[in-house]
Amino acid sequence: MHNFSKSQALQKRAQRVMPLGVNSNFRYWGEGVTPYMAKAKGGYLWDVDGNRYIDYRMAFGPIILGHAYDEVNAKVVEQIVDGTMSAMTYELEVEVAEKMVKMCPGLEMVRFACSGTEATMHAIRVARAYTGREIILKFEGNYHGFHDYTLWSTYAPVEAYGNRRSPIPVPASSGIPKVLGEKLITLPFNDVEGFERMMKSYGHQIAAVISEPCQGNCGAILPQPGFLELIRQRTAEYGIVFILDEVKTGFRIANGGAQEYYNLKPDLATYAKALGNGYPLAALGGKREIMSIIGQGVAQGGTYNNNKPGVAAAWATLTVLENEPVMQKLNERGTRLMAGIDQILTEAGLVHCMNGYPAMFSYAIGAEKVTSQRDWSVTDQNLYLEIIDALIERGVMPDHDAREPWFLCYGHGDKEIDDTLTAFREAVKACKK
Ligand SMILES: Cc1ncc(COP(=O)(O)O)c(C=O)c1O
């Protein structure tokens, strides 16, 4: 058993000054079982009690190269000694924008922000301004950040969603104005028939269809072949802005994200996470025609949008991605890890399906296939979490939330994959007992 005494003491102290003792609801795993962290390097994480973990949370996805990656930190230090911010533009920002435009097929122009939440919020405003329409279509189980516009139908119990022919948008928090639900259409992911029906009924009123390429906030459920292409086609026909939310997939599943992976050009795309390898930088970008309305009566800005640590980290991260076989290694090692997990679950006689990409994957126990949150929510999340707990005991830390994928980084070498599979085999065995 790991010793968690320092984490437990710190949790008690933290709860006196922070709700739940954390700075995001997702960082709270429960009383006495929420680890508090001391340091991270490469693919490893250490908690305040000195327990070491192979980390597959990667800070919710941003760490693509590895924790505390030397080249990224060096670039940040080089830049911040000359000032961390100014209320004007630096050349380095232009260079990062140029790199993004070069790497991501659908980008002609970009604007920076600090978080994925801001990036999607700005993209939605731009889409509404561009089309002169207000309705947004989003898919159940997708998450686009904490703003009120799309924090709907993210994690609700399926019963609350109503019939799939006419889904009910469900706010994911108290405090979200009900009236915003009137500006929203929700649908199950991968529901071709429902999507076609909504397009016929409301296509001319919809400003934007926003979607993650794969459900990175619901067990990494993949788009069924043709689904993203269908969205692309119908949005073009109805003059709707297609926003591809690449906050998790961007600079992770390919250098050019899902746009490269699926050979897809959305109208707008949003980025954060892997863009800065753990430093805060986000972006929205897309077609010149649409992006050009920013500043022409359309507001977009933010004091920290060009924060130098974030910009410098993005510069260094994208440079490493351009010059080193990061994606190749992630694919090789992630493929091996997925295959190993698949085999162990099969040998244990557990019905399951593997979902996602080698650099960002998950599995659902108790179903042979899942294509939407409605399918996923009836899978065996209790057993999933039991296995995760047993893994954490053995020094391997995927997220404690079954919706969150396993994330790999360049720093996960063959040894870490082998050690993870050994721990996984033992964990499954322990849980089956
Ligand atoms: C697809 C997607 N969009 C937006 C966000 C929000 O990003 P942030 O947490 O940086 O605000 C997230 C965060 O997990 C995300 O996964």
CATH number at residue 151: 3.40.640.10
Q: Give the integer Cα–Cα distance in Å for 64 and 195.
A: 33
pLDDT band at 217 (very low <50, low <70, confident <90, very high): very high
Question: Is 247's C-beta closer than 6 angstroms to any atom of ligand 1?
Answer: yes
Element (H, E) at 186: strand 184-187
Q: Which strand ranges, in their side-by-side order, compose the sheet holding 360-365?
A: 352-357, 360-365, 406-407
Ligand 1 geometric centre to CA of 418 (Å): 30
> Once rounded to an integer, what is the mean pLDDT over residues 354-365?
98
Q: Does any domain span residue 43?
A: no
Q: Give the integer Cα–Cα distance in Å for 205 and 132.
A: 9
Nearest atom in ligand 1 to the alpha carbon of residue 272 is 10
DSSP β-bridge partners for residue 356: 361
Query: What is the three-class DSSP state of 376?
Result: helix
Q: What is the pTM (predicted TM-score) of this model?
A: 0.97
* Nearest protein Cα to ligand 1, atom 3: 144
Q: Does any domain span residue 227?
A: yes
- Please report the pLDDT score of residue 1 as a whole number: 66
Nearest atom in ligand 1 to the alpha carbon of residue 282 is 10
* pLDDT per position as a tens digit, 97-155: 999 999 999 999 999 999 999 999 999 999 999 999 999 999 999 999 999 999 999 98
* pLDDT per position as a tens digit, 379-401: 999 999 999 999 999 999 999 89
Q: How many domains does the chain have?
A: 1
Ligand 1 geometric centre to CA of 355 (Å): 19
- Please report the pLDDT score of residue 282 as a whole number: 98
Question: Is 245's C-beta closer than 6 angstroms to any atom of ligand 1?
Answer: yes
**Average pLDDT, rounded, for the chain:** 97
Question: Is 212's C-beta closer than 6 angstroms to any atom of ligand 1?
Answer: yes
User: What proportion of the chain, given as a percentage, has pLDDT over 70?
Assistant: 100
Nearest atom in ligand 1 to the alpha carbon of residue 246 is 1
Q: Does any domain span residue 306?
A: yes
The first and second tokens of residue 403, run together, are 């919706």
Q: Give the integer Cα–Cα distance in Å for 43 and 312.
A: 22
Q: Does any domain span residue 354?
A: no
* Nearest protein Cα to ligand 1, atom 16: 248
Q: Give the integer Cα–Cα distance in Å for 266 and 287.
A: 8
The first and second tokens of residue 118, run together, are 């801001």
Ligand 1 geometric centre to CA of 72 (Å): 22
CB 370 within 8 A of CB 376: yes
Q: Does any domain span residue 267?
A: yes
Complete DSSP assignment for 169-184: P-BSSTTS-GGGGGGE
The first and second tokens of residue 5, run together, are 């005494």
Q: Does any domain span residue 196?
A: yes
> Once rounded to an integer, what is the mean pLDDT over residues 326-355?
98
Question: Is 120's C-beta closer than 6 angstroms to any atom of ligand 1?
Answer: yes
Q: Which strand ranges, in their side-by-side order, compose the sheet holding 241-245?
A: 109-113, 282-286, 268-271, 241-245, 206-211, 135-139, 184-187
The first and second tokens of residue 252, run together, are 């992770």
Q: Give the integer Cα–Cα distance in Å for 47 and 67.
A: 14
Question: Is 139's C-beta closer than 6 angstroms to any atom of ligand 1?
Answer: no
Ligand 1 geometric centre to CA of 110 (Å): 18
Q: Does any domain span residue 218?
A: yes
Question: Is 217's C-beta closer than 6 angstroms to any atom of ligand 1?
Answer: yes
Q: Does any domain span residue 106?
A: yes
* Nearest protein Cα to ligand 1, atom 4: 144
Q: In which domain, by residue range, is 158 found?
A: 70-323
Give the residue numbers marked as catalytic: 143, 245, 273
Query: Does the pLDDT value for residue 429 go beyond 70?
Result: yes
Q: Give the integer Cα–Cα distance in Å for 300 and 244.
A: 19
Question: Is 122's C-beta closer than 6 angstroms to any atom of ligand 1?
Answer: no
The first and second tokens of residue 428, run together, are 């499954």
> Once rounded to an integer, what is the mean pLDDT over residues 346-374?
97
Ligand 1 geometric centre to CA of 145 (Å): 5
Judging by beta carbons within 10 Å of its beta carbon (0-12, 13-18, 19+), is residue 332 exposed, middle or buried?
A: middle
Question: Is 248's C-beta closer than 6 angstroms to any atom of ligand 1?
Answer: yes
Ligand 1 geometric centre to CA of 117 (Å): 6
Question: Is 144's C-beta closer than 6 angstroms to any atom of ligand 1?
Answer: yes
The first and second tokens of residue 417, run together, are 């994959």
* pLDDT per position as a tens digit, 65-105: 999 999 999 999 999 999 999 999 999 999 999 999 999 99
The first and second tokens of residue 71, run together, are 């080249």
Query: What is the three-class DSSP state of 138?
Result: strand
Ligand 1 geometric centre to CA of 143 (Å): 7
Query: Does the pLDDT value for residue 432 go beyond 90?
Result: no
* pLDDT per position as a tens digit, 104-118: 999 999 999 999 999
Question: Is 117's C-beta closer than 6 angstroms to any atom of ligand 1?
Answer: yes
pLDDT band at 433 (very low <50, low <70, confident <90, very high): confident
Nearest atom in ligand 1 to the alpha carbon of residue 273 is 10
